[in-house]
Amino acid sequence: MTQIEAARNGLTTKEMEEAAKGDDRTAEYIRRMIAEGKAVIPNNTGRKARLVGIGAGLRTKVNASIGTSSDIIDVKAEVEKAIAAEKAGADTLMELSVGGDLDAIRKEVLAATSLSVGSVPLYQAFKEAIERYRDPNKLDEELLFDVIERQCADGISFMAVHCGINRLTIERLNRQGYRYGGLVSRGGSYMVGWMLRNNRENPLYEKFDRVVGILKKYDCVLSLGNGLRAGAVHDSLDRAQVQELLINCELAEAGQEMGCQMMCEGPGHLPLDDIEANVKLQKRMSSDAPFYVLGPLTTDIAAGYDHISAAIGAAEAARYGADLICYVTPAEHLALPNTDDVVEGVRAARIAAHAGDMVKLKNGSRDMAMAKARRDLKWDEQQRLGLFGERAAEIRASRAPEEPDTCTMCGSFCALDNVNAYFRESLGRGRKT
């Protein structure tokens, strides 16, 4: 029985109880959200993982993506990235390798982390088609479904599957005159090419019930991939992207009815004034299915600092209801991320998720406590409350002040130190404490 089937039968599972602890919610709340299709728990019946809930009323989660490329195949480095991502505070991990022995790499990453791990099966399916037939467009659909089954059997907990690309979405793409930024989804671009070359419908859409059947067997979350996501801000919310989103929202409801946990994926590149509309559109059309967003990147010209561009967009997306943020690293658009890039990407996304949650969940208690600790110059308390307390302590210690209750930014000109004495009487009476 899957989590959604149990939830709809009024049953509270141990997975729901574990997920509830991570969000300071009751297991009954998690059960009800899953039953309504508004939350999921990335899970796999064959692998023990540290489970989290993703969805309505829960804190925005952060995903880190790792994986080899065709140019750099270093399994040890990918394992190190997985460990670093978990230590930096990622809630989930995606293993997205395209170079090397993908089955072996996936198993090593799964063994190295306690996080729930996701994948994109189209990568491996097209890679194996190239190896067998020297042509990705000769992909046999049986190979595609075999890869999906194989990855689930290895312990994958959520899977981005590009079911929403169909003839109608490609027609929209043609009628609008292609795109400024082209197609940037690896899996999506290969599937579009396969459909056009073979003049056939996408088997993932055509045989959606078969996809659901495989994932349901493992209680794996089906994340409906956005193969036509915008790769440039000027392609944001174009007809092709919205058409695919519409189809994915319909499929999300259909998959839930079949007893599979479902979530939808979102863009991509979006200017700030499109983010609210995109999130609300997905939520309305899918009856509030969980929304997993990449970025979104808010400008196309920040290469080297795209993790900052994405954090700006992610904070807005979380504010309006996005549930899972896929991080972006400083290496985006430039190179395969290294371990330092992964850590910076996770940290930037965590800041964004927290900033969004302060509005979405109306929870600013930690920030209130930090404000008071800063006012009162309680440095140990500031370190404890900070998202990255150890890093903050390192910076402070590297430039130690002469007066221990201040910092070297202001030294003896510390505004708080100079004025607090005048308000100690008010503080003693309990005002603003």
> In the prediction, which pLDDT does 412 show?
82
- pLDDT, tens digit (0-9, with 9 covering 90-100), for 103-134: 999 999 999 999 999 999 999 999 999 999 99
> In the prediction, which pLDDT does 430 show?
57
- Residues of the chain with pLDDT below 50 are none
Taking the CA of residue 301 as centre, how many other CA atoms within 13 Å lie in the half-sphere pointing to its CB? 1
> In the prediction, which pLDDT does 190 show?
97
**Tokens describing residue 25:** 């919610």
> In the prediction, which pLDDT does 423 show?
78
CA distance 71 to 164: 30
Query: What φ, ψ does residue 117 adopt, rounded to 5°?
Result: -120, 135
The residue ranges of every structural domain in the chain are 3-360, 365-428
Helices (H), 53-101: 75-88
CATH topology for 3-360?
Answer: TIM Barrel (3.20.20)
Residue length of the chain:
433
> In the prediction, which pLDDT does 405 show?
84
> In the prediction, which pLDDT does 133 show?
96
Quick one: which of 246, 54, 31, 230 has its CA closest to 157?
A: 54
CB atoms within 10 A of CB 331: 19
> In the prediction, which pLDDT does 425 show?
63
Task: DSSP for 275-340, please give it.
Answer: HHHHHHHHHHHTTS--EEEE--BS-SS-TT-HHHHHHHHHHHHHHHT--EEE---TTTTTS---HH
CA distance 299 to 277: 17
